[in-house]
Amino acid sequence: MRISVPALCAFIFLVCPASDLLAQPYDGVTYGFSLGLAYSPDDNLTSAGWNLGGTVEGLVGHSLELRATLGGIGIEGDAGEQTPKATYAFLLVDVLAADLLSPTGGIGLYYVDLDPPLVDETLSRLEFGANAGVRLMIPYSTKRADHAFTLDARVHSVLGDGPSLLVTVGAGMLF
């Protein structure tokens, strides 16, 4: 018998909320960090880059979380003789479910620093954007639901000039 990954994820998300699997759902604020890889489908950014972030999360009600993330993304490319760099610093606010597997979505403010040929001349300015993704929590404590290792995947859409689509995958920890 074969089980599809999307069906398994849907089962975990709908049937197994974190409060049923863990001893005590948390009711306060928790902190965390994440490190990972970044990618952009832009033709001039051909290699994978890095992403990192620090988070503050809080439970709203019984099943909704708000998450603030302060972080950065860096990607280098290869455009002939040039090596363009795209660097993003961001402050994001996300909404997500308080489950082990949760869809995420939010808005953010991005400080964008782009080198030619990504743009006509070097560009550094603030841009608005949005992101959507999924987070998986793997608890390492049976006493508190907010003590967990995390895996995050996000798609960032940044308004303005330059690469407007970024994909990040990261692993982290909530403590």
Q: Give domain status of residue 16, yes or no.
A: no
Q: What is the pLDDT of residue 27?
A: 65
Q: Give domain status of residue 119, yes or no.
A: yes
Query: For residue 105, what are its two tokens?
Result: 């979505």
Q: What is the pLDDT of residue 22?
A: 44
DSSP alpha helix (H) spans, the chain: 5-15, 18-21
Q: Give domain status of residue 24, yes or no.
A: no
Placement of tokens 């974190």 in the chain: 18
Rounded mean pLDDT of 62-86?
88
Q: Give domain status of residue 63, yes or no.
A: yes
Q: What is the pLDDT of residue 19?
A: 45
Q: Give domain status of residue 132, yes or no.
A: yes
Task: Indicate the number of domains in the chain.
Answer: 1
pLDDT single digits (tens) 3-55: 555 665 555 555 555 444 443 556 678 999 999 999 998 887 878 899 999 99
Q: Give domain status of residue 111, yes or no.
A: yes
Q: Give domain status of residue 15, yes or no.
A: no
Q: Which domain does 60 fall in, by range?
A: 31-174
Q: Give domain status of residue 107, yes or no.
A: yes
Q: What is the pLDDT of residue 119?
A: 81
CA distance 144 to 100: 13
The CATH number covering residue 106 comes to: 2.40.160.20
Query: For residue 103, what are its two tokens?
Result: 């869809």
Rounded mean pLDDT of 54-61?
91
Spatial CA neighbour of 21 closest among 101, 95, 96? 101
Taking the whole predicted model, whether its pTM rises above 0.85 is answered as no
